[in-house]
Amino acid sequence: QSALTQPASVSGSPGQSITISCTGTSSDVGGYNYVSWYQQHPGKAPKLLIYDVINRPSGVSSRFSGSKSGNTASLTISGLQSEDEASYSCSSYSSSTTFVVFGGGTKLTVL
């Protein structure tokens, strides 16, 4: 059981937009603006997409955007492309003894 809750899977067609949610508590997502999102293709290293809720590292496409409302953070991918098919995980700083908590991951399928 992961500390943050994500849907197991989402899907969309090329060109569409999708949103992945990440629900935590006031001790993590809701209490800090330290939410990150990672993309992972099978057999590859995870890649940082979004940090501090809304910031994109240099080189990450503007098609990826982040937001937060209360205890739920969201990742939106616009203009879906086939190469976006991957697993997406959220994380947050936590005031618990774990320091960093992750979601269970969401598998994105591009139809």
Partner 1 sequence: QVQLVESGGGVVQPGESLRLSCAASGFTFNNYGMHWVRLAPGKGLEWVSLIRNDGSNKYYADSVKGRFTISRDNSKNTLYLQMNSLKPEDTAMYYCAKDIHTVTIHWVLDYWGQGTLVTVSS
Min CB(28)–partner 1 separation in Å: 11
Q: What is the 3-state secondary structure (H, E, C) of 49-107?
A: EEECCCECCCCCCCCEEEEEECCEEEEEECCCCHHHCEEEEEEEECCCCCCEEEECCEE
Which residue type sits at 7? P
Choice between 45 and 62, CB closer to partner 1? 45
Beta carbon nearer to partner 1, 80 or 105: 105
Interface residues toward partner 1, by CB under 8 A: 2, 6, 34, 36, 38, 44-48, 51-52, 57, 89, 91, 93, 97-105
The smaller minimum CB distance to partner 1, of residues 71 and 92, is found at 92
Q: In the complex, what is the shortest distance from the CB of residue 17 to partner 1, in angstroms, rounded to a whole number?
A: 24
Q: Give whichever of 13 and 43 is closer to partner 1, judged by the CB atom.
A: 43
* Contact partners, residue 32, CB within 8 Å, separation at least 6: 92, 93, 95
